[in-house]
């Protein structure tokens, strides 16, 4: 049994590199990121997954790396790709690998399944037992609700990674901008934790999330502010107590026309570029913004709300 290379523990900077792009991987080797993860998931189009696995193995075993923590993001367990991603990468380059980044984790069972597969691969390949870590990515309501059991599911778990784009899409948060506050959200809101807990429970179990009443029925501005807050988070609707509140609620819980149009534009561009007609790429530029599978899901949330509202 040979000893794996030991990496520093800091992860101040974690660089995402598409596994489908050998040129970008080669360039990343010389960059000063603490961790580099080679992506097989959303940055790689379905038709390019198998070739990306081979690129990643070739890149991991070739020279030129610095001291970076080397990680591969596999596809999530609901797809048909996960097992082959893990087997190909660990059999081909297990000695060069520090961890597997597991996206869209919903529960401890998914972490344990990966742990078991890694244990077998380490035994079969003569690798250090338990040497390959797991980085669960929290990207949906169920994953957040089960976060304690996910964090303690295996001694291989090294980090918990937030996936904002998929997370915002999974709870139907009403925004197209990843990493920024949704418009209308008020920081320091005393209701925030309670509202978010209700929203997460609703999304975790496939229910609608409805905000309660606003009792100052003559204060329409106040109603609009309160409704805007929960609409921005992703709630589906709000109680109304007066006819004037009905139109306001219908408007506020529907996307704005400009956002709806932008969402449809993102979906069209994404469909064109990933279908093969535009090159079967996983991540594409639309104006100044990068869009990928996760941002397309966020656009899908806005588009679905708009279509339901007859836009
Ligand atoms: C990253 O994976 C994200 O969904 O934001
Ligand atoms: Mg994601």
Residues measured by CB to lie within 5 Å of ligand 2, the ion: 139, 163, 166, 294
For residue 139, report the distance from its CA to the centre of ligand 1, in Å.
7
Decide: 310 and 255 in contact? Cβ < 8 Å: no
Stated pTM of the model:
0.83
Q: How far apart are CA 55 and CA 78, in angstroms?
A: 23
Strand pairing class (289-291; 284-286): antiparallel
Of 16, 71, 163, which is best to mutate to test ligand 1, by the most ligand atoms within 8 angstroms of its C-beta?
A: 163
Q: Which residue has the higher pLDDT, 279 or 193?
A: 193
> Please, what is the end-to-end C-alpha distance for the chain in angstroms?
62
In order, the DSSP letters of the chain are -PPPPP--S--S-EEEEETT-HHHHHHHTTS--SEEEEESSTTS-GGGHHHHHHHHHHHHHSS---S-EEEEE---TTSSSHHHHHHHHHHHHGGG--EEEE-S--SHHHHHHHHHHHHHHHHHHTPPTT-SEEEEEE-SHHHHHTHHHHHTS-TTB---EE-HHHHHHHTT-S-S-TTSPPTT--TT-TTHHHHHHHHHHHHHTT---EE-----TT-HHHHHHHHHHHHHHT--EE---SHHHHHHHHHHTS--HHHHHHHHHHHHHHHHHHSSTT---SSEEETTEEE-HHHHHHHHHHHHHHHHTT-
Q: Which of 237, 266, 241, 265 is nearest to 253 (CA)?
A: 237
Decide: 157 and 101 in contact? Cβ < 8 Å: no
Q: Which of 241, 276, 245, 239 is nearest to 45 (CA)?
A: 276
Of 18, 75, 104, 166, which is best to mutate to test ligand 1, by the most ligand atoms within 8 angstroms of its C-beta?
A: 166
Whether the per-residue pLDDT at 278 is higher than 60: the answer is no
Mean pLDDT, range 33-57, rounded to an integer: 94
Cβ neighbourhood burial of 1 (10 Å; 0-12, 13-18, 19+): exposed
**What tokens appear for 214 in the block?**
């606003």
Decide: 306 and 273 in contact? Cβ < 8 Å: no
For residue 34, report the distance from its CA to the centre of ligand 1, in Å.
19
Of 294, 297, 298, which is best to mutate to test ligand 1, by the most ligand atoms within 8 angstroms of its C-beta?
A: 294
pLDDT, tens digit (0-9, with 9 covering 90-100), for 134-166: 999 999 999 999 999 999 999 999 898 888 889
pLDDT value of residue 3: 41
pLDDT, tens digit (0-9, with 9 covering 90-100), for 80-104: 999 999 999 999 999 999 999 999 9
pLDDT value of residue 2: 42
For residue 283, report the distance from its CA to the centre of ligand 1, in Å.
12
DSSP bridge pairs for 157? 134
Decide: 33 and 15 in contact? Cβ < 8 Å: yes
The share of the chain scoring above pLDDT 90, in percent, equals 57
Q: Which of 151-155, 247-251, 267-271 has the lowest mean pLDDT?
A: 267-271
pLDDT value of residue 1: 42
- Residues with Cβ within 8 Å of residue 13, at least 6 apart in sequence: 32, 33, 34, 35
């Amino acid at each position: 049994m040979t000893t794996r290379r030991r990496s520093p523990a800091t992860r101040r900077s974690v660089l995402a590199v598409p596994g489908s792009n050998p040129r970008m991987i080669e360039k990343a080797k010389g960059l000063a990121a603490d961790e580099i993860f080679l992506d097989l998931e959303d940055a790689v189009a379905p038709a390019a997954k198998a070739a990306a696995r081979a690129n990643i193995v070739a890149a991991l075993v070739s020279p030129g790396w610095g001291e970076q923590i080397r990680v591969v993001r596999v596809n999530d367990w609901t797809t048909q790709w996960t097992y082959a991603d893990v087997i190909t990468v660990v059999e081909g380059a297990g000695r060069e690998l520090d961890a597997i980044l597991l996206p869209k984790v919903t529960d401890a069972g998914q972490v344990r399944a990966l742990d078991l597969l890694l244990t077998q691969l380490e035994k079969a390949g003569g690798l250090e037992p338990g040497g390959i870590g797991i980085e669960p990515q929290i990207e949906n309501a169920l994953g957040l609700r089960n976060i304690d059991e996910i964090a303690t599911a295996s001694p291989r778990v090294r980090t918990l990674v937030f996936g904002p784009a998929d997370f915002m899409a999974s709870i139907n948060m009403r925004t197209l901008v990843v990493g920024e506050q949704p418009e209308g959200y008020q920081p320091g809101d005393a209701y925030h934790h309670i509202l978010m807990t209700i929203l997460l429970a609703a999304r975790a179990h496939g229910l609608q999330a409805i905000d309660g009443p606003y009792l100052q029925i003559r204060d329409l501005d106040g109603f609009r502010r309160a409704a805007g807050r929960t609409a921005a988070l992703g709630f589906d609707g709000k109680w109304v107590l007066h006819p004037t509140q009905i139109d306001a609620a219908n408007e506020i819980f529907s996307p704005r026309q400009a956002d709806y149009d932008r969402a449809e534009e993102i979906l069209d561009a994404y469909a064109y570029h990933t279908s093969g007609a535009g090159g079967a790429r996983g991540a594409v530029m639309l104006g100044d913004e990068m869009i990928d599978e996760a941002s397309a899901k966020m656009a899908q949330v806005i588009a679905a709300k708009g279509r339901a509202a007859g836009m």
